[in-house]
Amino acid sequence: MIFTKQNGAIKATRGGETILIEPWGHNALRVRTTRYPAFSGQDWALTEPVSEKESVITYSKAVQENGTGTGRDCGGIGQTEATITNGRLSCTINRVGILTFYRDDVKILQEHYRFYDGTVSKESRCLKLIAREYKAHVGGDYRITQRFEPNDGEKIFGMGQYQQPYADLKGCTLDLEQRNSQISVPFAVSSLGYGFLWNNPAVGKVTFGKNRTEWVAGASKEIDYWITADEGPREILKNYTEVTGHAPMVPDGYLGLWQSKLRYRTQEEVLQVAHAYRDKGIPLDVIVIDFFHWTLQGDWKFDTRYWPDPKAMIDELHEMGIKVVVSIWPSVDKKSENFYTMAERGLLIRTERGSDQTYDYQGDCVEIDPTNPETRRFVWEVCKKNYYDLGVDVFWLDNSEPDYVAYDFDNYRYYLGPALSCSNIYPQFYSRIFYDNEIAEGNEHPVNLLRSCWAGSQKYANVVWSGDVPSTWEALRDQLAGGINMGLAGIPWWTTDIGGFMTDDVEDPDFRELLIRWYEFAAFTAFLRMHGDRGPYNIPALDDRDWGGGYLHTGQPNELWSYGEENFRIMKKYLDLRLSMKDYLERVFAEAHENGSPILRALFYEFPEDKKAWEIADQFLLGSDVLVAPVMAPGVTEREVYLPAGKWEDLHTGEQIDGVRTITAKAPLDIIPVYRRTR
């Protein structure tokens, strides 16, 4: 191993591999390795400028005075090594290139290596497992595997959203793939006091195994990761958002109710619902116009048969203080007026083999390639003319993974390269079609709704929702785990479809109970959204055409009053409670903006010294001072609640309760146990 000092970093080379370890932010290091002649120059999620750090670099024996040295010594036992330190984090690289990381002087992470080369090893040396493995990939680049030793007793959180009940990811295998309801945000927070960003948008997987941790990139030119070590989760998230970007301040008028259903089909329907909310005295912040309000996918405009004067409709909604959301899909039907122009100019995703179709819901479609700057300009010009200039406030960027006919990532190619190498960053570029251009138009506070995101997406004002999840109790439990881990992955603006998206029968009593419990949970998350595909499908289509805004089915009514008087009373009660907490919510959002703190927080975020807080997976904190214990099973009328240190006030009864204890809380259908920390 040959070591070189390079602008405060360590550069090491051995056997055709180059390793670069450099200070990058507060108590943090960035590590890159490659077998190419040079690094790609891509910073991916590490978009924010960082101040120069005075790193400390030390060497063991056999290093020359000029700062270089060979990793060969006569003893052959690997004593020669180099160490770089940035604040509380240090990394040692030995003579065969194995990296070990320390928080202060305590080892927190070490590469996994089982190979006989003259070094001393307590494990089997015959497995020929190396820490960084590059395998040739047909079509170019490498399939790369990065291995680390496991840490017994470690807990791992973050990584985005996976449809599973596990908040602690130790023992889990996670596909690093964007799919409908699965969001890959590859930043992990460890109970050992470090955070780890896999700074690579390649499709792959990670296994936080008991025997080893393994990161895999399906096609890549290099390994690139960032690691920080600090006191606890709060400091780790602060360090992370300083290098990947801060969520903006939430603008006024979004923290109340968002009203949506599967397809308001006409502007009359939208206005009728808006007037009904006003007549009932229910404040409404946002109303949503969902898919197939358009003519064909990729036309990105209203079907004038059913939306004859959208500007007048939007103006009327604005007069009532209601913001307007319009759904945008990335799919372009081959019959669309924009298809051949976009195909000719190379603005669509390409397939490597077979048909050029990438999406087949209600049309023969190819999806846009927003990694191409020209695509972003073209789509914005169309949407500006047909939506933004009419006064649309928010773009709902649905299908933003993108949603494929099949998730065959080896069959798609983008402007940035093969989908295997970069597909996970697709939703971030998709959101920037609108965020970047709205900023350029003078809109200082854009807000857009997406179904997916990636590391750093928080800086683009993405309200991320959890996708088309089923209306089941199991799904509700999964959303809590997903919400906790999205926040710990640096994405604070997170929400769900209340009641789940897929409902067969709105009259089913079990569904209505689930809806109420889900609504109670959602009232204490970042955004409160009524949305869902409510069956049965017995509402006739508006016309018999096979295109446009009239032919497709719609769901049953989904307004607060659609589920009976008693359920209406409960939902109105929790909307009123949420609105009464507006000042508190604004402070919580301000903290997310300032230091990356989640809106929906795991208990250990505020109580890192409390071992029990690291074990609790069915409660959460809204901000620092409101503890919520949702009911996530049918027929439950009471549940146990753990209260950490402090004095807690029951929001329903006013009772004052001392913490560091587990209590039994009453939870009839109209009560979700909620407690406010008073000191």
Give domain limits for the chain.
Answer: 2-244, 251-328+497-599, 330-446, 602-677
What is the arithmetic mean of pLDDT over 35-49?
97
Query: At what angle are helices 565-580 and 582-595 packed, to 10 degrees?
Result: 60
Average pLDDT over residues 365-379: 98
Mean residue pLDDT of the chain comes to 94
Q: In this structure, how many other beta carbons lie within 10 angstroms of the beta carbon of residue 640?
A: 12
Cβ atoms of residues 651 and 628 within 8 Å: no
Name the helix (H) or strand (E) containing 384.
Answer: helix 373-386
pLDDT score, position 69: 43
Kindly give the pairing relationship between strand 448-450 and strand 462-465.
parallel
Q: Which of 560, 566, 542 is nearest to 552 (CA)?
A: 542
Q: What is the pLDDT of residues 95-120, one digit of tens each?
A: 899 999 999 999 999 999 887 665 54
Q: How confident is the model at residue 460 (pLDDT cuts 50, 70, 90)?
A: very high
The per-residue pLDDT for 116 is: 64
Calculate the CA dihedral of residues 517, 518, 520, 521 and round it to 10 degrees: 120
d(CA 115, CA 36): 23
The predicted pLDDT at position 464 comes to 98
| Whole-number Å distance between alpha carbons of 202 and 621 | 33
Task: Name the residue type at position 578.
Answer: R
Residue with tokens 């291995």: 147
Classify 657 as helix, strand or coil: strand
Is residue 401 part of the annotated active site? The answer reads yes
Confidence at residue 134, expressed as pLDDT on a 0 to 100 scale: 92
Is residue 548 within 8 A of residue 303, CB to CB? The reply is: yes
Q: What's the confidence (pLDDT) of residue 564?
A: 97
What value does the mean pLDDT take over residues 313-317? 98
Q: Read off the pLDDT of residues 206-221 as tens digits, 9 standing for 90 and up.
A: 999 999 999 999 999 9
Mean pLDDT of 662-667: 98
Give dist(CA 154, CA 110) in Å, integer: 14
Q: Is residue 504 annotated as a catalytic residue, yes or no?
A: no
Count the Cβ atoms, other than its own, within 10 Å of residue 253. 14
What local confidence, expressed as pLDDT, does residue 522 receive?
98
Cα separation, 252 vs 445, whole angstroms: 9
The third-level CATH classification (topology) of the domain covering 602-677 is Immunoglobulin-like (2.60.40)
Sign of the four-CA dihedral 276, 281, 287, 290: negative
Catalytic residue among 398, 559, 618, 625: 398
Domain 2-244 has CATH 3.30.2130.30: no
pLDDT in tens, 125-140: 677 788 899 998 766 7
Cα atoms in the 13 Å half-sphere on the side-chain side of 617:
17
Q: What is the pLDDT of residue 581?
A: 98
Given the DSSP bridges, would you call strands 620-622 and 600-601 parallel, antiparallel or unpaired?
antiparallel
Q: Which of 282, 275, 259, 280 is nearest to 575 (CA)?
A: 282
pLDDT given for residue 137 in this prediction: 76
Q: Smallest Cα–Cα separation from 416: which of 398, 428, 408?
A: 428
DSSP notation for 269-311: HHHHHHHHHHHTT----EEEE-SSSBSSTTT-SB-TTT-S-HH
Between CA 469 and CA 532 the distance in angstroms is: 9
Confidence at 386, pLDDT banded by 50, 70, 90: very high
Per-residue pLDDT at 186:
99
Checking if the pLDDT of 121 tops 60, the result is no
pLDDT one-digit tens code per residue, 186-206: 999 999 999 999 999 999 999
pLDDT of residue 123: 67
What pLDDT is stored for residue 431 in this prediction? Answer: 98
Note the pLDDT of residue 64.
37
What are the pLDDT digits (tens) for 488-514? 999 999 999 999 999 999 999 999 999
**73 has a pLDDT exceeding 50:** no
For the cut 50, the answer to whether the pLDDT of residue 70 exceeds it is: no
Q: Is the pLDDT of residue 60 over 90?
A: no
For residue 660, report the phi and psi dihedrals to the nearest 5 degrees: 60, 50
Run of H or E including 592: helix 582-595
Q: What is the spatial distance between Cα 501 and Cα 260, in angstroms, rounded to a whole number?
A: 11
Catalytic residue among 468, 474, 513, 649: 468
- Report pLDDT for 119: 55
pTM, 2 dp:
0.96
User: pLDDT band for position 547 (50/70/90)?
Assistant: confident
- As assigned by CATH, the class of the 251-328+497-599 domain is alpha beta
| Contact yes or no for 83/21 (Cβ under 8 A) | no
Averaged pLDDT, 341-347: 98
Q: What is the DSSP letter of 440?
A: H
CB-based burial, 267-291: b 16+ in 10 Å, e otherwise: bebbbebbeebeeeebebbbbbbbb
- Cα separation, 157 vs 232, in Å, equals 13
Sheet holding 448-450, edge to edge: 494-495, 462-465, 448-450, 394-397, 323-328, 286-289, 257-259, 528-530
How many angstroms separate the CA atoms of 273 and 13, rounded? 66
| pLDDT > 60? residue 77 | no
pLDDT the model gives residue 549? 85
Q: What percent of the chain has pLDDT over 90?
A: 89
> Which of 401, 559, 618, 625 is the catalytic position?
401
- For residue 534, list its beta bridge partners: 503
Q: Mean pLDDT across the stretch 630-658?
A: 98
**Which residues sit opposite 111 in a β-bridge?**
148
Give mean pLDDT, residues 323-337.
98
Mean pLDDT of all residues in 241-245: 98
Q: Could you say which DSSP state residue 556 is in?
A: P
Structure tokens at 244: 């990947």
